[in-house]
């Protein structure tokens, strides 16, 4: 929230005196929602909107086309049914004027009601869901808003299905049973709601009450859960050093296969495998997800690119900075679990090594920059196809390794006094607190320069907006580390294609750019019948052992119902494995950088 100067307060007070008469004459519009679910097994929510004090001849109401935090147009209006409007007992004329806009004609009525149903049967963190067991609301996919009244405060009454006793949300109570208030549509849309008989756990972190609403009845140690989540949250607070919370809610869906998380201003929704808590690896994975989504309450929700708020719910909101907002959050979340003592420094280095391996073995890393990946999230990241690895790079993966390299450079430049934590603190104070807005691409670079004491413009040009290989060795060397690269033996060959077995058939599912199959003409969708005259019943990649580089391979394939013969020479495998290792006898300067970067728990 921006700070208000004394001068602005005086102007506001004067404006209030001058307009007292007009306010008295015209009541401000009021908005109230009622959410009910009389037949949850049918997967429908029922929504009533009461609009009072709307003085025009008609009012347009809209439903968003996307959910902030998930950069894909999902067309939520496709699930709306039975839209109608009433003024008392009179049915008003309505018409749909765009894909997500309904117009209500009310020339004689200032007060009227809108009613509609929403089909909700997609259980993800980005959408809404209801069945006989529970209901989950992601606001943008359920609640409409007056087109000219997005900033109106509103009230929401939730009427749970019969037999359900809990409503969990970060919205503030407003009196009455399950009645809440929001300051604007942005707050309503950004406050997911879990409805049912979920289990509730609580803990306090940095003086703030936190609630964990668990659906799915997992086998989990309650004391360990709240203790470890508290440690993660308190460690996350240390990065920025300022607490913007007065409450926080974790909604956790424990299902067969977890799908990740989605951040909100005072809450998050996590989708977790119900068996994740039973193994040490699963437990650490859960805590990593907690750290990632929780750190978003600073990075994205408050420290944000200027394009990401206030939101335009009608269309895409473009930014080049998702490598910071998402990849940077992944970088910090891994540091947070390390700093909290759940991951050792060497385990962290192993995880970062895996990240470098993923990035450098993705051909699209040389085709698409981190900035381009961010900007094109709407058309590429959330719409992958069989060629995606050849054409693009994940802004999560690339952003994480950029964060590591840049952090080490800042630490080295400041002789262990500053790091990316300080950049986040500067952005929070300068843009969120003082100016109440997001930062531009250039302002992010300026913030790094201010903290480091020198500019990194060439770094951003080459590695963020360009596709050059990051200077891993240089950055890791500052901390007394080295990057060991291993690959296949010189004689090893690779088909350069992934094979998907289905119904006993071996079908090409992807082809690696510039590999053997790419050059030879093997295509996605080809069913491989034989290789070198031998019937193929297993992945042909397994049959290449001992073959020489340059040797010819002959396939018989079924392509669109036609039998074709394809021959080509085998190339050497280009896959590499990267591992970060410690140098022997690091200097005092290197030890200082490493201690700043990966502090040992308790020191």
pLDDT, tens only, 10-25? 333 333 433 333 334 4
DSSP 107: T
Give me the mean pLDDT over the 48-69 stretch. Answer: 97
Chosen CATH of 298-481 out of 2.160.10.10, 3.30.300.30, 1.10.390.10, 3.40.50.300: 1.10.390.10
Give me the mean pLDDT over the 456-465 stretch. Answer: 98
pLDDT, tens digit, 9 for 90 and up, residues 99-153: 999 999 999 999 999 999 999 999 999 999 999 999 999 999 999 999 999 999 9
The pLDDT score that the predictor gives to residue 20 is: 39
Please say if the pLDDT value at position 552 is more than 70.
yes
The pLDDT score that the predictor gives to residue 490 is: 56
What is the rounded CA–CA span in Å between residue 452 and residue 435? 23
Give me the mean pLDDT over the 54-73 stretch. Answer: 97
Please enumerate in sequence order all residues whose Cβ is within 8 A of that of 94, keeping only pairs 6 or more positions apart, or say none: 83, 84, 85, 102, 103, 104, 105
DSSP line for 251-306 = EEEEESS--EEEE-SSEEEEEEETTGGGSHHHHHHHHHHHHHHHHTTTBTTTB-BT
| Average pLDDT taken over every residue of the chain | 94
pLDDT, tens digit, 9 for 90 and up, residues 303-321: 999 999 999 999 999 999 9
Task: Provide the 3-class DSSP secondary structure of residue 71.
Answer: coil
DSSP 378: G
The pLDDT score that the predictor gives to residue 27 is: 75
Every domain of the chain with CATH number 2.60.40.3650 lies at 25-182
User: What CATH number has the domain spanning 25-182?
Assistant: 2.60.40.3650
What is the rounded CA–CA span in Å between residue 327 and residue 399? 4
Give me the mean pLDDT over the 54-61 stretch. Answer: 97
Alpha helices in 143-221 (DSSP H): 185-189
> Quick one: which of 131, 129, 137, 178 has its CA closest to 155?
178
The pLDDT score that the predictor gives to residue 155 is: 98
Give me the mean pLDDT over the 451-472 stretch. Answer: 98
Give me the mean pLDDT over the 344-362 stretch. Answer: 97
The pLDDT score that the predictor gives to residue 4 is: 37
Question: What's the angle, vertex CA 553, arms to CA 549 and CA 559, rounded to 5?
Answer: 135
The pLDDT score that the predictor gives to residue 11 is: 34
Q: What is the pTM of this model?
A: 0.93
Please say if the pLDDT value at position 8 is more than 50.
no
pLDDT, tens digit, 9 for 90 and up, residues 406-419: 999 999 999 999 99
The 208-215 sheet, strands edge to edge: 199-205, 208-215, 248-255, 267-273, 260-263
Please say if the pLDDT value at position 602 is more than 80.
no
Contact between 370 and 395 (Cβ < 8 Å): yes
Every domain of the chain with CATH number 1.10.390.10 lies at 298-481
Question: CB-based burial of residue 492 (10 Å sphere; 0-12 exposed, 13-18 middle, 19+ buried)?
Answer: middle
Task: Provide the 3-class DSSP secondary structure of residue 587.
Answer: coil
**Alpha-carbon 71 to chain mean position:** 8
pLDDT, tens digit, 9 for 90 and up, residues 366-395: 999 999 999 999 999 999 999 999 999 999
The pLDDT score that the predictor gives to residue 488 is: 73
Percent of the chain's residues with pLDDT above 70: 95
The pLDDT score that the predictor gives to residue 6 is: 36
The pLDDT score that the predictor gives to residue 26 is: 56
Give me the mean pLDDT over the 529-556 stretch. Answer: 93
The pLDDT score that the predictor gives to residue 199 is: 97
Is the backbone peptide bond immediately before 310 cis, with ω within 30 degrees of 0?
yes
Every domain of the chain with CATH number 3.30.2010.30 lies at 198-285
The pLDDT score that the predictor gives to residue 428 is: 98
What is the rounded CA–CA span in Å between residue 536 and residue 508? 13
Lowest mean pLDDT among 10-14, 70-74, 196-200: 10-14
The pLDDT score that the predictor gives to residue 545 is: 83
Compute the residue count for the chain.
Answer: 603
8 vs 155, higher pLDDT:
155
Residue 458 phi/psi, 5-degree rounding, is -65, -40
User: What CATH number has the domain spanning 198-285?
Assistant: 3.30.2010.30
The pLDDT score that the predictor gives to residue 601 is: 66
Contact between 64 and 190 (Cβ < 8 Å): no
Give me the mean pLDDT over the 245-272 stretch. Answer: 97
At 491, the pLDDT band (50, 70, 90 cuts) reads low
Give me the mean pLDDT over the 515-531 stretch. Answer: 97
Give me the mean pLDDT over the 331-337 stretch. Answer: 98
Task: Provide the 3-class DSSP secondary structure of residue 74.
Answer: coil
User: What CATH number has the domain spanning 493-572?
Assistant: 2.30.42.10
The pLDDT score that the predictor gives to residue 489 is: 61
Give kind and range of the element (H or E) at residue 353: helix 345-360
């Amino acid at each position: 929230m921006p700070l208000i100067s004394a001068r602005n307060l005086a102007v506001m007070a004067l404006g209030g005196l001058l307009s007292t008469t007009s306010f008295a004459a015209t009541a401000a519009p009021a908005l109230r929602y009622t959410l009910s679910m009389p037949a949850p097994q049918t997967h429908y929510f029922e929504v009533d909107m009461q609009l009072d004090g709307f003085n025009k001849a008609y009012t347009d109401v809209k439903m968003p086309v996307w959910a902030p935090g998930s950069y894909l147009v999902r067309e939520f209006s496709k699930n709306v049914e039975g839209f109608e409007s009433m003024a008392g007992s009179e049915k008003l004329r309505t018409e749909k004027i765009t894909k997500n806009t309904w117009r209500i004609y009310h020339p004689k009525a200032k007060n009227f009601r809108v009613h509609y149903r929403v089909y909700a049967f997609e259980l993800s963190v980005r959408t809404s869901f209801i069945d006989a067991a529970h209901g989950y609301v992601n606001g943008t996919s359920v609640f409409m808003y007056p087109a000219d009244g997005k900033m109106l405060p509103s009230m929401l009454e939730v009427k749970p299905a019969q037999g359900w006793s809990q409503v969990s949300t970060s919205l503030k109570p407003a009196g009455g049973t399950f009645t809440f208030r929001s300051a604007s549509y942005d707050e309503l849309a950004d406050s997911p709601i879990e409805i049912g008989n979920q289990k509730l756990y609580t803990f306090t972190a940095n003086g703030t009450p936190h609630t964990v609403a668990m659906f799915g009845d997992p086998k989990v140690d309650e004391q360990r859960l709240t203790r470890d989540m508290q440690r993660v949250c308190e460690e996350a607070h240390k990065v920025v050093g300022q607490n913007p919370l007065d409450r926080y809610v974790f909604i956790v869906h424990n299902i067969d296969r977890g799908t990740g998380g989605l951040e909100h201003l005072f809450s998050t929704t996590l989708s977790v495998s119900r068996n994740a808590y039973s193994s040490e690896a699963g437990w650490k994975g859960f805590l990593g997800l907690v750290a990632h989504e929780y750190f978003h309450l600073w990075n994205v929700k408050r420290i944000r690119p200027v394009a990401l708020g206030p939101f335009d719910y009608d269309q895409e909101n473009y930014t080049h900075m998702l490598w910071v907002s998402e990849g940077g959050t992944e970088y910090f979340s891994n540091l947070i679990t390390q700093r909290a003592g759940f991951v050792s420094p060497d385990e962290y280095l192993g995880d970062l090594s895996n990240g470098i391996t993923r990035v450098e073995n993705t051909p699209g890393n040389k085709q698409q920059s981190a900035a381009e990946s961010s900007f094109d999230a709407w058309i590429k990241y959330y719409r992958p196809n069989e060629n995606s690895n050849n054409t693009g790079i994940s802004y999560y993966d690339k952003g994480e390794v950029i964060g590591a390299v840049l952090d080490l450079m800042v630490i080295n430049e400041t002789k262990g006094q500053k790091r990316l934590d300080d950049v986040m603190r500067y952005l929070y104070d300068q843009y969120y607190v003082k100016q109440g807005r997001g930062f531009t691409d250039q302002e992010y670079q300026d913030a790094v320069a201010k903290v480091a004491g020198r500019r990194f413009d060439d770094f951003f040009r080459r590695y963020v907006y360009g596709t050059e290989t990051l200077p891993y060795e240089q950055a890791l060397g500052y901390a007394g580390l080295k990057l060991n690269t291993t690959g296949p033996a010189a004689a090893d060959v690779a088909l350069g294609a992934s094979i998907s077995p289905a119904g006993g058939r071996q079908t090409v599912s992807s082809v690696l750019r510039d590999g053997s199959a790419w050059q030879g003409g093997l295509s996605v969708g080809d069913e491989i019948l034989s290789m070198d005259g031998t019937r193929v019943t297993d992945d042909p990649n397994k049959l290449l052992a001992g073959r020489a580089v340059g040797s010819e391979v002959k396939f018989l394939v079924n392509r669109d119902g036609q039998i074709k013969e394809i021959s080509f020479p085998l190339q050497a495998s280009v896959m590499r494995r990267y591992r970060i290792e410690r140098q022997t006898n690091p200097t005092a300067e290197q030890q200082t950088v490493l201690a700043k970067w990966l502090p040992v728990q308790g020191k």
